[in-house]
Structure formats: C-alpha cells, structure tokens
Structure 1
Amino acid sequence: MQWISDHAPAINAIAGVLTLFVWLFYAQLLYNGYIRQRRARLIINRGQGKDIDSLCLISNMSAEAIFIQHIVVRIETSQEPLLLDVSDYQQSNDDGQTEYRSHQGPLSSGGYLHIGTFQALIERVAEAYDIQLDGHRPTAELTFKAIELRVIAIYGSEDRPVGARRRFLLDDDGDACSITPAQIDTQRLASRRDRRLVKQWMRNLE
C-alpha cells in the first residue's frame, strides 16, 4: 500500500493514458462502422440459373437509396471489345405498341432490378454493332469471351458518381454456354482514383 501511495501520480498518469487509448479504440470502431454504413454497395449477380439464359441482377445493399445513371455492357471478344449503354430499352405492350423504358432512377436500399437475361444483353450489343448471331455465337470470325457489367450511380448527397463492375466468363462447350463469375464479388469503385475511372466511363458514353 505504501508503494502505491508513493507512486500514485505515476499510476494515475499511466491509467489516464490507458483510458485515452481505450476511448480512441472505441471511437475508431464507431467511425469505421459509420464509414461502412455510408458506403455505396451494389451487387451484380446472375439469377435463375447459371447459363446464358439466366437473369442479370443488380442489388442495392447500401444503407440508403442509390440513383442508377448508366448500366453499361462490355463484351470481350477475340478482337476489339464492344460497349453499349443498356440503361434505356424498348418493350412491346399488350396492344403491340413499342414503349420506351429506362432502368435509370432511384433503387431503394435492399431493392434490386433485373436488366434481362445475359442472352438478351448479348443480342442488344450485337445488334448495335451489326453483328449477326447464331444463338449466342457470332456468325463472323469473332468469338465472345467474357461479358462485364458496369453500373454508374449517385449515392446519397454525394456529387461525384460511384461505380460497380463484375466480369463473367462465357464458357461455351459447343452446345450450351454457361456464365461463370470471374471474381468472387462485385468490385466497388468509390475511391478517388476509382471515381476518376468512373468519370472516364461517362465521358466515353457521350
């Protein structure tokens, strides 16, 4: 007890420093949790199958709604890559009339949308580039190797766009074609460097 009394100032100083470190640790945990909650989180995946007729799904796992600006399909070929903005599309109604619709707009937290099958997306890109198809295969001396989906969006009150992308391999066995994700998860593009890339995507669409 005498030793504690003699060294009380030093013990109190050490205890104060340790308490400060504990508070800083908890403050860092709270800050990291806040940052994670504020991050835009989009997931691009396939649904209702694993082949070329499966749906392409875009889910918003962010804490808030996100505004979809552009959805871009990029097909890797044996030659040059093919890109197309598929945000807007045409659809026939019950009367046989063509309606113009868009995937642009807000997507609520926990919500999702499907932009058609991978086969339909490939057909849209091929039509835009005047490429004839035999099923999912080009009839010309061209091979489709992979398809990448890119999403450009605005999250919350942020002024700069964020992006997400995921690449799928086209595994053609000569009969059917399967869709295999090239990455485990969707790549989120939200850092300063990534946002410059997203802005470049937008300029390429102009």
Structure 2
Amino acid sequence: MWQWLQDNQPAIQIIVSLTTTVVWLAYLHIFLVSFRRQTRSGLLINRAGRDGLSARCIISNLGSEPAYLTDVLAEVEIGDTTTTASVVDRLEMFEDSNQSQTAQGPMASGAYIDIGSFEDIFERVRQRHSSEDIACKADRIKLIAVAATSQARDLVAAYRSFDISGSGEHAVLRPVEVEAHQVRSWLQRRRLKRLLSTIQRGDRMEHSASSELFAPANLPASRHPAP
C-alpha cells in the first residue's frame, strides 16, 4: 500500500487539490447565497383590517437594513382605461396641520408605514386627475411602492394588485398576488426612475405604469404622451 502511494503520489496530490478546491467553492457559494439573502431588500404591500375600501394599506420593510419610502403609485383600472397617480401624499389631510401630510419616511427593518385606507387612496387619485367616482367604477387597483435603501445602489420597488367587486359599502378588495412582487432588475429600476420623474414634473399619466416597467427587455418601454 505504501509503495503504491509513493508510486502514485503526483496523481493523488492532484486529486486532493481538486477535492479541496471543490469543497472551498461549495463553502464560498453557500456564504454568498446566505450573504445575498441577508442583505436583499424587500417590500410588502398588504391590506389590513376589513376587506372593503375602509381597509388600511400597509407598506412594510422586510429587508435587514432601514429603507426610506419615497413614493407609492396607484394604477387604477376602469374597463379598458388605466390611470396612474402618486398617492404617497395625504391630500385629504392638507387642511389639517396637526397631522402628517405625507406617508414618505424611514422604515426600520421589520417596520411599516400606514399610507391610509383604500378609500383615501382612491380619493387621492381622484384629486390628482379631477375624475369622479373612481372607487365606484374601478375594477382593479395596483400599488407600486418605491423605496431607497443603503443595500441597493438604486431605488427598489414592489407591486401588488387588488381586484374590486361591488361598490360603496359593499365593495370587496381581493389581492391578486399571494405576496408583493419585487422590482430589482437594473432595467426595471431605470424605467421606474423615468416614471417617477414624469410624475414629479406633474405630468398626467392616463396609462399603465406597469406596462412600461415590465415590458420585455428586447422591446422599448411604451411612451404615452400626457393628454
């Protein structure tokens, strides 16, 4: 046996070296996956309380680092028509100086921000677009939460949709997705910055924001002129 080991020493050394390399690569992979999972940002959009328009809309930070909620976009579908507006500012409270007039703000890890009821959100869309009875006519609302974190070099976002059946006191909100889908790709975040720039300039968006965000990478995002 000893003679065989001496005769095959070069081959054995190569095998041991390759085995050691594979083990270290496996450990490195596990470490990188664990590190990425710990530092990955995450936003949750949830309905709290009742299932009607009085339900509260909660934005939670699931990342391990603090996040700053910068904007929330509401995409309201009425038949074949889609309207998008920023709803992070509490327009219904502008006359009350004792309450915060915006939902923007920092969120610690595991913390959340209550951006108001869904009824409030529809009212903000109505005020932005001078429309009437949006809540009574809406078929679906998609919320896109946008935040800035120290984990990412750019903005992060998540979206979740809610179907609406009935109207008024009998309206019922049903989430379409089980959980909020995260927006993390470089292309989507670049498109998101362009959308936010459009909204911050005060341009009206009588179209779907998500159709621009999630267009295939090999196709240009659609551009809709403001009416």
| TM beyond 0.5 | yes
- The runs of 5 or more residues in structure 1 that have no matched partner are 138-142
Q: CA deviation at 1:35?
A: 1.7
Q: TM-score, normalised by structure 1?
A: 0.85
Equivalent position of 1:35 in the other structure = 36
2-structure distance, mates of 1:47, 1:91: 20
1-structure distance, mates of 2:106, 2:163: 29
Equivalent position of 2:112 in the other structure = 112
2-structure distance, mates of 1:92, 1:102: 9
- What pairs with 1:20-59 in structure 2 (closer than 5 Å)? 20-59=21-60
Q: CA deviation at 1:196?
A: 1.4
Q: Secondary structure at the match of 1:88?
A: coil
Q: 1:35 to 1:146 in 2, by over 3 A?
A: same
Q: TM-score, normalised by structure 2?
A: 0.78
Kindly report structure 1 stretches of 4+ aligned residues shifted beyond 4 Å.
90-93
Q: Deviations over 1:90-119 (max 9, x none)?
A: 4669xxx62252111211111001111112
Q: Secondary structure at the match of 1:150?
A: strand
Q: Secondary structure at the match of 2:44?
A: strand
Q: Secondary structure at the match of 2:41?
A: coil
More helix by share: 2
Q: Secondary structure at the match of 1:40?
A: coil
Q: Secondary structure at the match of 2:26?
A: helix
Identical counterparts, % of pairs: 27
- What pairs with 1:101-180 in structure 2 (closer than 5 Å)? 101-133=101-133, 136-137=135-136, 143-156=137-150, 158-172=152-166, 176-180=170-174
Q: 1:153 to 1:53 in 2, by over 3 A?
A: same
1-structure distance, mates of 2:169, 2:69: 36
Q: CA deviation at 1:192?
A: 0.7
2-structure distance, mates of 1:125, 1:204: 16
Task: Tell me whether 2-11 or 115-124 shows the greater mean CA deviation.
Answer: 2-11
- What pairs with 1:11-26 in structure 2 (closer than 5 Å)? 11-26=12-27
Aligned AA for 1:182? V
Task: Tell me whether 8-17 or 172-181 shows the greater mean CA deviation.
Answer: 172-181
Q: Secondary structure at the match of 1:53?
A: coil
Aligned AA for 1:198? L
**When the two structures are aligned, how many residues end up with a matched partner?**
197
More strand by share: 1
